[in-house]
Amino acid sequence: MKTQAILQAARKLFLEQGLEVTTAEIARVAGVAKATLYANFSDKEHLIEAVLRQESDLTISDHDFAQRHHLPLIEVLTAFGYRFVRFINQRELTGWDRLIASAAVRHPDLPGRFYAAGPGRAQQMLEAIIAEAIEAGTLRACDPQEAADELAGLMVGNDQPGDKTWRKTSAVRRRNQTAG
């Protein structure tokens, strides 16, 4: 309960004031002591990651991901796609994009961490779904990573047949993530 209050307060304040908001202010808005905040999150960086991970759960939660084995592939991909598109079209995501971009100067590793906690995590889940479907014989053999890139690109509308923009963007993101 206290952890959730901290996450909600941090999310609200990060979006309103940026990452420079103090942990004391987050604790105050959450209604907890600063010691409670640090008992749950060892430092501000871990708190930021936890907030970003919670945001990515809007796309697909670990629980939903674990339940995928009990559903037909079309239902799993449809549910994933619906939640993914709903997530990327939420108004607050623009705030996160701006926040991450502006904070990158002071926190150069933040964009990679944001990608890993959010879009990268969703991408890995989509790759796993595709790989398992290939192994089960539900999908034809292909490169699961490339198929996930193409499918995600179609979901966000920035991929046309033959267009490699999304794949290149995803490859650059992955390179930056591993380099950073």
Q: Each residue of 126-138: pLDDT tens digit? A: 999 999 999 999 9
- Greater confidence (114 vs 92) lies with 114
pLDDT tier, 99 (very low <50, low <70, confident <90, very high otherwise): confident
Question: If you count them, how many residues does the chain have?
Answer: 180
Interior angle at CA 24, CA 18 and CA 28, nearest 5? 100
**Residue 122 in tokens:** 């969703």
Using the predicted structure, report yes or no on whether residue 81 has a pLDDT greater than 90.
no
Interior angle at CA 64, CA 61 and CA 68, nearest 5? 140
Is it true that domain 2-44 has CATH number 3.40.50.720? no
CA distance linking residue 123 with residue 152, whole number of Å: 8
Residue ranges per domain, the chain? 2-44, 57-179
